[in-house]
Amino acid sequence: MQQADIGLIGLGVMGTNLALNIAENGYRVAVFNRTVAKTNEFYADAGDLQDKIIACETLEDLAKNIRAPRPIILMVKAGEAVDEQIAALKPFLAKEDIIIDAGNANFHDTVRRLAELGANDPTFVGMGVSGGEEGARHGPSIMVGGTPESYARIEPVLTAISAKYEGESCSALLGPDGAGHFVKTIHNGIEYADMQMIAEVYGVLRDGLGLTSEAIGKIFDKWNAGPLNSYLIEITAKVLLATDKKTGKPAVDIILDSAGQKGTGRWAAIEAQMLGIPATGIEAAVAARSISSMVKQRAEAEKAYGDLGTAKLSDNSQAFIDALEQGLLAGKIAAYAQGFDVMVGASKERGWDIPLATTARIWRAGCIIRSQFLDQIAAAFEGSEGTNLLLVPAFVERMKSGSKSLRKVVSEASLAGLPVPALSAALNYFDGFRQARGTANVIQAQRDFFGAHGFKRLGEEGDFHGPWSDA
Ligand code: 6PG
């Protein structure tokens, strides 16, 4: 039998869909799963694609059935399972072979795994894959970290299976070792911020204006035809317009308001903090998920402080709804600016050189944050790599007007007692970022007062201390 072009280990939901995607694109794929029954079931269900699939019962069998140098994708649970799989696979592989971790790995693990491989071991690639089940099956966004040689070996398959934006593949090599998984982490952080801002706007419409889920769904549906057009806005309209079969109520109205999180958003916030790059939109979104999980305490606190009630906003005009649309867009610009800035920081720290325009381009389709907006971001970074998005001329113009709407939304919501943590974080970041003379002079004076840490004087070189003993 003709050997496979690529191997895949782990036939869970993502692995199954990715393997079918590979086969459907004409590449032969050898698959392995720890439970042989699952492999057999997958093969039996593969229909017309069976002739492109080689079902393997052992890792040795898997290795034998792939054309060298063998690329093998791991689609197993992030964490220890990846280390175990690498250890189990190594004896059957050669130096030229490539193990590709396609899970949501922490990039520190990716860097470590690569370092742990010896000179005669196969090489290792960390590959972020976004788009969920549907993306894996019909075209995900693929963020690769590895060597150009490894990428060249897998590039034809990845280009074929990835999502396409106006014919352009949404797969790219973004840097060495952990760069691909790092970019995926930041993607997820931005995803958290985007989702949170949407949820906040939903909250203002529901609790501030007293609108029903259906009415809000229609607003989001309309917005999806405008500048906010994106997968997340599209699915928000859909979920708001869906009906719960059991009760006949809007589906979102019967869902517990406690958000889960697997950790990638938190990693993004942690990495931003470690790099000293502000990513307050992501941080606010992570914290909001944590507050959402404090279900009992929130109920107690509502009793203690009183119910917010509904229809609290003084301004319920169409102009205010338009401001919500523009404000959400401005909030997104600030949060995305932060996410991209974190990548700039990581590139500096690790010598990665993550290409921002390319990253924005491969996020235009396939991934969860896919949108038209990312096409505009990609265009903005062409020739302005490394510049904060808020300083790219096209976005300066957009923020000049958009920030007015964001300010209106945040102030109205705050006055009504409605929480908008990510939107207000975005606004405060924008206001802090655009203020040439900030307030850290006082912090420097305080630090010098209690710890003699010194400060710089305006327009003078050197370190100085203040006249605090006279104070
Ligand atoms: C994607 C998603 C995907 C997954 C997240 C959800 O890009 O396809 O981000 O990776 O849905 O793990 O993360 P939470 O469970 O933390 O929301």
Using left for φ > 0, alpha for ψ between -120 and 50, and beta otherwise, residue 242 falls in: beta
155 catalytically annotated: no
Could you tell me if 189 and 259 lie in one domain? yes
Q: Is ligand 1 within 6 A of the CB of residue 188?
A: yes
For the CA of 188, the nearest atom of ligand 1 = 9
Could you tell me if 137 and 33 lie in one domain? yes
- The answer to the question of residue 439 being in a domain is no
Q: Is ligand 1 within 6 A of the CB of residue 367?
A: yes
Q: Is ligand 1 within 6 A of the CB of residue 190?
A: no
Which of 177, 196, 226 corresponds to the end of one domain? 177
CATH code at position 100: 3.40.50.720
Report how far ligand 1's centroid is from the alpha carbon of 178 (Å). 18
Could you tell me if 204 and 296 lie in one domain? yes
Within 10 angstroms of residue 194's Cβ, the number of other Cβ atoms is 28
Could you tell me if 389 and 265 lie in one domain? yes
Residue 314's pLDDT is 79
Residues with Cβ < 8 Å from 188, sequence gap 6 or more?
A: 104, 130, 264, 265, 267, 268
Residue 309's pLDDT is 67
Residues with Cβ < 8 Å from 437, sequence gap 6 or more?
A: none
Report how far ligand 1's centroid is from the alpha carbon of 179 (Å). 18
- The answer to the question of residue 438 being in a domain is no
Report how far ligand 1's centroid is from the alpha carbon of 156 (Å). 26
Average pLDDT, integer, range 34-45: 97
Which of 146, 177, 208 corresponds to the end of one domain? 177
Res 254 pLDDT > 90? yes
Residue 313's pLDDT is 84
What does DSSP say about strands 168-169 and 164-165: parallel, antiparallel, or unpaired?
Answer: antiparallel
Res 375 pLDDT > 90? yes
Residue 316's pLDDT is 81
Angle (CA) 424 427 433, round 5°? 135
Could you tell me if 303 and 388 lie in one domain? yes
184, 283, 325, 412: the catalytic one is: 184
Q: Is ligand 1 within 6 A of the CB of residue 132?
A: yes
Which pLDDT tens digit goes with each residue over 176-227?
999 999 999 999 999 999 999 999 999 999 999 999 999 999 999 999 999 9
Within 10 angstroms of residue 340's Cβ, the number of other Cβ atoms is 25
184 catalytically annotated: yes
Residue type at 423? L
**Own/partner pairs, 39-43, CB within 8 angstroms, 24+ separation:** 39/11, 42/11, 42/16
Residue 1's pLDDT is 72
Q: Whose CA is nearest to atom 2 of ligand 1?
A: 130
Q: Is ligand 1 within 6 A of the CB of residue 77?
A: no
Residue 311's pLDDT is 65
| Through-space distance between the first and last CA atoms of the chain, rounded to whole angstroms | 87
Could you tell me if 168 and 253 lie in one domain? no
Residue 315's pLDDT is 80
Q: Is ligand 1 within 6 A of the CB of residue 262?
A: yes
Q: Is ligand 1 within 6 A of the CB of residue 174?
A: no
For the CA of 184, the nearest atom of ligand 1 = 7
CATH code at position 453: 1.20.5.320
Report how far ligand 1's centroid is from the alpha carbon of 266 (Å). 12
Quickly list DSSP for 276-343.
T---HHHHHHHHHHHHHT-HHHHHHHHHHH----S---S--SHHHHHHHHHHHHHHHHHHHHHHHHHH
Could you tell me if 304 and 385 lie in one domain? yes
Average pLDDT, integer, range 437-442: 98
Which pLDDT tens digit goes with each residue over 309-341?
666 787 888 999 999 999 999 999 999 999 999
Give the Cα separation of 217 and 302 in Å (integer): 27
Range of the domain at 383: 185-433
Could you tell me if 24 and 155 lie in one domain? yes
Domain count, the chain: 3
- The answer to the question of residue 214 being in a domain is yes
Q: What is the mean pLDDT of the chain?
A: 96
Could you tell me if 289 and 331 lie in one domain? yes
313 alpha-carbon distance from chain centroid:
32
Residue type at 377? I
Could you tell me if 216 and 121 lie in one domain? no
Q: Is ligand 1 within 6 A of the CB of residue 292?
A: no
Report how far ligand 1's centroid is from the alpha carbon of 69 (Å). 31
Could you tell me if 111 and 192 lie in one domain? no
**What is the model's pTM?**
0.96
Could you tell me if 221 and 367 lie in one domain? yes
CATH code at position 374: 1.10.1040.10
- The answer to the question of residue 1 being in a domain is no
Res 244 pLDDT > 90? yes
For the CA of 131, the nearest atom of ligand 1 = 8
Report how far ligand 1's centroid is from the alpha carbon of 207 (Å). 28
Which of 126, 158, 177 corresponds to the end of one domain? 177
